[in-house]
Structure 1
Amino acid sequence: MRDFRDAKAMAQTLRESLTTKAVTISHSESLELVSRMLGVADWNTLSALLHAERRDTAAPIAKLKTTAFYPAAPLRDLVPFPNATYPMFVGRERTLQALHQAFEGGREVVLAVQREAAVDDPRFSDVYEIGIVAQLLELEPLADGTFRVLTRGLRRVALRSFAVESAAYQAEATDVSEVAVRDARDLIRSIYQRFQDYTAAHGILVPDIWLFFDQTRDPGQIADTVATRMKLPIKDKYELLATLDPMKRLERIEALLDVSQRPVSANYAATKRHALEHAERRHHQYATLEHFLLALVDDAEASAVMRACDADFGNLRQGLVQYLDNELKHTVTETGSAEPTPAFKRVDQRAALHAQEVGHAAVTGANALVALFAETRSPAARLLAEHGVSRGRADKAIARGVGKGA
């Protein structure tokens, strides 16, 4: 099948065919007609594409993309992916107007990711270049005047404009194509294993995901499905959306799932050693979460978060020491070396994941403190709650930058 690089030959064929039917057009007119037949505005634009193709013969064959205008919705704290369903809560009037226009039309809307969540009335420079076209499924009014919207992602697009038109957000968008994929079975197998550990550490319930892995062989779709469920800062998640090569997207996801490579702050490394020392000093066979928490009380970043929660440090330390000295006598051993319990190891792993989620350059004691809350049956979590430290208050402190470290 001919493509745009055959435009001149196609124009010549068109002229000759019309001549046999007693219709005469000029060479320039035939070029303009062929340009429009190929979806390009005029011959000058098509000619520029031809010259670009000649300058870079090693580049893949350029494909003409479909550009269209869509109602648009800017997203503050969500990065959407194709083939996933998202509930959104909308309150901005211009977004609501865009959604109403979409429901009156083809039910398609461009979802654009904001660079900064604090911008209330974004323009083109305030949103990232890659978004998605989504299909609107439901629009439900809520009692507080906002709307709950259910959307399903369809495909990636490149934004050419984002502005306000007739009191509604509108985007001009061009479809984008993903790079051809080579065999990715080994990479998919590795991600499958790592993602199982990731969902277990996060307590993420994905009953359909393992069946999906078994049945799907599309690397791009697998990458998007995993990326949708990962907890990442907006910027990191957007980078996955904007990576058009499925293999590179899979490789990036594998690196993000490999928490063993996450840098650890010097303070946190020392805190883990101190936790083991608390156990070994008492000749305990295992280093438990209570040993870990006692070390976190003296950790600079973790204690800063606890202080922001108005923790009672004196009573917390006393409660931990009493528990360790009285309740763990049955674990005393003569070896003098302590082995971290599975719960200790889980908290350490979740700490690395939490650092990734909140965008910390290195894992700190603050991340470990938050990771400890998931061990709800442990005396350590109970003692934190009794002395004023909750997951919600800790999250708010970390969102303000407390416990980030140097």
Structure 2
Amino acid sequence: MRDFRDAKAMAQTLRDSLHTKAISISHGESLELVSKMFGLADWNTLSALLHAGRTDVKAPPARAKEAPRSAVTSYPAVPLRDLVPFPTATYPLFVGRPKTMQALDQAFGRQREVVLAVQKDSAVDEPGFEDIHPIGVVAQLIELEPLPDGTLKVLTQVNRRVLIHRFVGETGAFQADVSDLGEGPIPDAPELILRAVKRFERYAAAREIQIPGIWPQLEQTRDPGGVADIIATRLRLPIADKQGLLATIDPVARLKQVDALMDFGRPVSPALEATKRRALGSATERRQQYATCEHLLLALLDDADASAVMQACNADLDAMRTNLKTYVERGLNNATTQSGEKAKPTAAFQRVEQRAEIHAHELGRPVVTGANMLFGIFLETRSPAAQLLGEQGITRQRAAEIIASGATNG
């Protein structure tokens, strides 16, 4: 077998043969059956082997954990409940399970390397081979710190991806047998790298995610897989999505997935378009060069979606209107413009727009509304607009609950 296309061809042949016998199965079921013919747990495992360049995939006498020992190395192992680790990143792990602590003790007494395996179900206390994802990582143990409650804090540096063939805990310590997953030659994808880096800069700014110190050089790197891993470490995604990225061996495909996961673009509702025009027009009428968060909040008072959230928080909209008008007319230090020149949104105004877009995306809403825009103001903690919301008892958490409940269209 050369690659996954051969496996898919076998699956189609199997499906066609069964169909002639009046037995119908789905394409996915046929892929799983082919994987089991080769003694592997599932299609993801077989696909990972083939993408890694393994041309020796033959049907072993039993399951994948009985793979030839020459291709497998055994390590102490740490099962992870709620973290997906990526190569090159450093992670602090908090360990309390006895078998995990024993595995760490063995690792520190040997080569100081462990396998980090992500659990399929975080509630399982004694995971076995069927309870962990087949793609994990090998990590170097950097330092260990005993904690007062008897648990351990261990700092790890992730080195590389591995395919897990066997995961057991019968000896009193978790142990995994793994083989390396090489990505092959580094492909050339400079445009994809640049787009992903720029998109993450926008994503990070809107979410107040700290960009690492190596970032200025990242867009010059040639390794799309490495860029994907660095970005994936910092994306706020469900565990399943992150595990999917870890299990994507092809570096270009992985970076394309990362890029797509950051594509949170949503159209703006007509009502919000009108609200933004009012905010910019309010500043223009006053011959102010910039429209601020205060101009925006003043306009949101007349936005049906945003005002519904504020009213649900028992805010006094009339008092807010009076305070905001006083501020934009007298208290705002804003450069004046020539007559007829239109005001521009401040950087804070634009950050609020970005957060609103992300918020709508995360809620699965088809358009961005004034409610999402209101939610985006809260992180501008130094702005009088955010302070006024707090004074009125409108908190970020309460607003999020109201919007998520569907009480508005936002």
TM-score (norm 1): 0.68
Among 89, 96, 100, the alignment partner of 1:95 is 100
Give me the whole-angstrom Cα distance separating, in 2, the residues matched to 1:278 and 1:211: 38
Give me the whole-angstrom Cα distance separating, in 1, the residues matched to 2:125 and 2:117: 14
Deviations 1:304-356 (A, max 9, x none): 6996xxx4423xx3443123322223689987987544322211213334566
Q: Structure 2 stretches of 5 or more lacking a match?
A: 1-37, 39-51, 58-69
Conserved in 2, the CA contact under 8 Å of 1:131 and 1:157? yes
Instruction: Give the C-alpha shift of residue 134 in structure 1.
Output: 0.8
Partner of 2:46: none
Matched, 1:62 2:64: no
Matched, 1:351 2:365: no
| DSSP 3-state at the match of 2:353 | helix
Partner of 1:233: 238
Identical positions, percent: 45
Q: Structure 1 stretches of 5 or more lacking a match?
A: 1-44, 46-58
Q: 1:263 to 1:77 in 2, by over 3 A?
A: farther
Give me the whole-angstrom Cα distance separating, in 2, the residues matched to 1:96 and 1:363: 48
| DSSP 3-state at the match of 2:156 | strand
Instruction: Give the C-alpha shift of residue 280 in structure 1.
Output: 4.5
Give the partner amino acid of 1:263.
Answer: R
Give the partner amino acid of 2:150.
Answer: G
Instruction: Give the C-alpha shift of residue 153 in structure 1.
Output: 0.6
Instruction: Give the C-alpha shift of residue 70 in structure 1.
Output: 2.5
Identify which range, 276-285 or 75-84, moves more after superposition.
276-285
Q: 1:281 to 1:221 in 2, by over 3 A?
A: closer
Partner of 2:212: 206
Partner of 1:263: 266
Give the partner amino acid of 1:273.
Answer: A
Matched, 1:289 2:293: yes
Q: 1:355 to 1:279 in 2, by over 3 A?
A: closer
Aligned positions of 1:2-401 closer than 5 A: 62=55, 66-203=71-208, 204-214=210-220, 216-259=221-264, 262-264=265-267, 270-271=271-272, 273-277=274-278, 280=281, 283=285, 287-293=291-297, 295=300, 311-314=313-316, 317-329=317-329, 340-354=345-359, 360=364, 368-391=373-396, 397=401
Give me the whole-angstrom Cα distance separating, in 1, the residues matched to 2:119 and 2:78: 10
Give me the whole-angstrom Cα distance separating, in 2, the residues matched to 1:359 and 1:179: 38
Give me the whole-angstrom Cα distance separating, in 2, the residues matched to 1:117 and 1:233: 13
Give the partner amino acid of 1:289.
Answer: C
Give me the whole-angstrom Cα distance separating, in 1, the residues matched to 2:77 and 2:268: 42
Give me the whole-angstrom Cα distance separating, in 2, the residues matched to 1:306 and 1:114: 43
Give me the whole-angstrom Cα distance separating, in 2, the residues matched to 1:401 and 1:90: 34
Instruction: Give the C-alpha shift of residue 403 in structure 1.
Output: 6.0
Give me the whole-angstrom Cα distance separating, in 2, the residues matched to 1:118 and 1:297: 47
Give me the whole-angstrom Cα distance separating, in 1, the residues matched to 2:85 and 2:124: 19
Q: How many residues align?
A: 336
Conserved in 1, the CA contact under 8 Å of 2:189 and 2:224? yes
| DSSP 3-state at the match of 1:195 | helix
Aligned Cα root-mean-square deviation (Å) = 3.9
Name the larger-Rg structure: 1
Deviations 1:358-381 (A, max 9, x none): 574656666545532321211121
Conserved in 2, the CA contact under 8 Å of 1:302 and 1:364? no
Instruction: Give the C-alpha shift of residue 141 in structure 1.
Output: 1.1
| DSSP 3-state at the match of 1:168 | coil
Give me the whole-angstrom Cα distance separating, in 2, the residues matched to 1:100 and 1:368: 51
Q: 1:154 to 1:384 in 2, by over 3 A?
A: same
Instruction: Give the C-alpha shift of residue 227 in structure 1.
Output: 2.0
Give the partner amino acid of 1:348.
Answer: E
TM-score (norm 2): 0.67
Give the partner amino acid of 2:261.
Answer: L
Instruction: Give the C-alpha shift of residue 184 in structure 1.
Output: 1.5
Identify which range, 368-377 or 384-393, moves more after superposition.
384-393
Q: 1:394 to 1:136 in 2, by over 3 A?
A: farther
Give the partner amino acid of 1:208.
Answer: I
Instruction: Give the C-alpha shift of residue 156 in structure 1.
Output: 0.5
Instruction: Give the C-alpha shift of residue 392 in structure 1.
Output: 6.2
Give the partner amino acid of 2:293.
Answer: L
| DSSP 3-state at the match of 2:379 | coil
